Amino acid sequence: DSGVTQTPKHLITATGQRVTLRCSPRSGDLSVYWYQQSLDQGLQFLIQYYNGEERAKGNILERFSAQQFPDLHSELNLSSLELGDSALYFCASSVEVGASTDTQYFGPGTRLTVL
């Protein structure tokens, strides 16, 4: 158990809908990262927050947004869902930011299926 929690574990929804994925980082970790894992794109970085502030954006679509709350949990919002958004979404957390030694610990993931 990495100490990172994600809910829900599975999510099935229809095209055009909006969903929210939730992540709680490990105790003491200030950084939260979101990744998407799909069969065709592999593991892709989406966005990172540090202590409530957005720090970096990756290949995140405009239909997607995220935030980190004062209690450090984070939510990833996916809207106007398309079939291609079906993927495994991971949240990871780490203590620091910007250090090459900083290890990211991953949550169990949320498997999103868009029908």
Q: Which parts of this chain interact with another protein (CB under 8 A)?
A: 2, 31, 33, 35, 42-43, 45, 48, 55-56, 58, 88, 90, 92, 97-109, 111
Rounded to whole angstroms, how far apart are CA atoms 53 and 89?
20
Which H or E run includes 57?
A: strand 53-57
Q: Of 37 and 65, which CB lies nearer to another protein in the complex structure?
A: 37
Spatial neighbors of 103 by CB under 8 A, at least 6 apart, are 94
Instruction: Please report how close the Cβ of residue 46 comes to another protein at its closest, in angstroms.
Output: 9
- Minimum distance, C-beta of residue 49 to another protein, in the bound complex (Å): 10
Q: Which is nearer to another protein, 33 or 64 (CB)?
A: 33
Report the 10 Å Cβ neighbour count for 64: 20
Closer of 40 and 62 to another protein (Cβ): 40
Closest CA to 107 of 34, 44, 45: 34
Preceding peptide of 70 cis, ω within 30°: no
- CB nearer to another protein: pick between 80 and 96: 96
Q: State the nearest-atom distance from the C-beta of 68 to another protein, in Å.
A: 13
Q: How far is the CB of 82 from another protein (least distance, A)?
A: 22
